[in-house]
Amino acid sequence: MNQAKSQRIVVMTGVTAGLGLHALQKIAAQPGTRVIVGARGSGRAVPPGVEVIPLDLASLASVRQFSEAVTSRLESGRIDILVLNAGMQASTNEGRSVEGYELTFAVNHLAHYLLARLLLSQMADQGRLVITTSETHDPAVTPIAPKALDPQALAHPDKSGFGMGIRAYAASKLCNLLTAQSFAAMEEVRARKLAVIAFSPGLTGGTSLGRDSPRAMRAVVMLLMHTVFRVVGLFRPEYVIGTPERSGEALAEIALGAVIPPPGRIYVSLVKGKPTFPDPSQLARSREAREQLWRESAVMVGFDDQAPTQ
């Protein structure tokens, strides 16, 4: 990091469970590193010295409060690394955020979009923004991936029923990738040499993603992971199931700059525990789609500037 200062400042979401918790442990153990995390609830078990600020991504008001609290704690400091890793997956698309948006879209995409926009000005030059996405965004990997983008339909779905929860999840992860592309294309981001990375940890067992799904649904997913995916994984490496330890370690490596995508690339996909740099889906690379998502998300979070990012 380019600032003449002794301390590296890292802000993270989604580090109270799953792979994020492992990433947090690695990052917090780095010398000279101050870590501020956003988390729901109280009494979170985080490594000693890590600062916890309340954040519920299901509420845009909470995102704004978190951003203000982080900014006031920074004083003259700047954020070197911003890691937006929190995520949820539900069995339906019937949940709603405080502001009335479909919950998966709101938590995984809209809240992080708002948070990254609010904190961008607080980031250090040559800082790093990492957004956790998923290979489920890609129709070449899974049939549940979105083949078109309609932010309004994602925010206010008029269809529900079997399979809509996982489809909402896959679409929200496409939104994470499109948002990363938008930030990477911003003039300000280029001028300040900020690195933007969309990280797909790959199928990772043993996390609590989908924990709110009905017990029967979770049992089916476990069964799939231990049977079908193991066989499919013999032919399709992206179906090989990783561990939260390795996925979290990879997230930490990316956040800390130990793994850097080749020039011009922002997508890192962990396959069999190794970082790879494939093209994301065709839709994820669409300038039209990313600009549409940016504009419509701006309206949804209450920004009156709806200008495209470049």
Ligand X SMILES: NC(=O)c1ccc[n+]([C@@H]2O[C@H](COP(=O)([O-])OP(=O)(O)OC[C@H]3O[C@@H](n4cnc5c(N)ncnc54)[C@H](OP(=O)(O)O)[C@@H]3O)[C@@H](O)[C@H]2O)c1
Residues that bind ligand X (CB under 6 A): 13-20, 39-41, 55-58, 85-88, 107, 132, 134, 200-201, 203-204, 207-209
> Which one, 58 or 189, has the nearer CB to ligand X?
58
* β-pair partners for 276: 269
Closest-by-Cβ residue to ligand X is 18
Alpha-carbon distances, residue 225 vs 68, 132, 230 (angstroms): 41, 21, 7
DSSP state of 242: B
Min dist CB 209 to ligand X, Å, is: 4
**Which residue reads 């400042």 in tokens?**
9
> Which one, 47 or 77, has the nearer CB to ligand X?
47
> Which one, 7 or 227, has the nearer CB to ligand X?
227
Q: How far apart are CA 157 and CA 172, in angstroms?
A: 13
**Which residue reads 């080749």 in tokens?**
262
> Which one, 1 or 17, has the nearer CB to ligand X?
17
Cα dihedral: 208, 210, 215, 216 (round 10) = -130
- Tokens (6 digits) for 278: 């494939």
Min dist CB 98 to ligand X, Å, is: 10
Strand locations in 191-278, DSSP E?
195-200, 267-271, 274-276
* β-pair partners for 51: 36
Min dist CB 76 to ligand X, Å, is: 28
The neighbour count for residue 159, using CB atoms within 10 Å, is 8
Min dist CB 62 to ligand X, Å, is: 8
> Which one, 199 or 294, has the nearer CB to ligand X?
199
Min dist CB 6 to ligand X, Å, is: 29
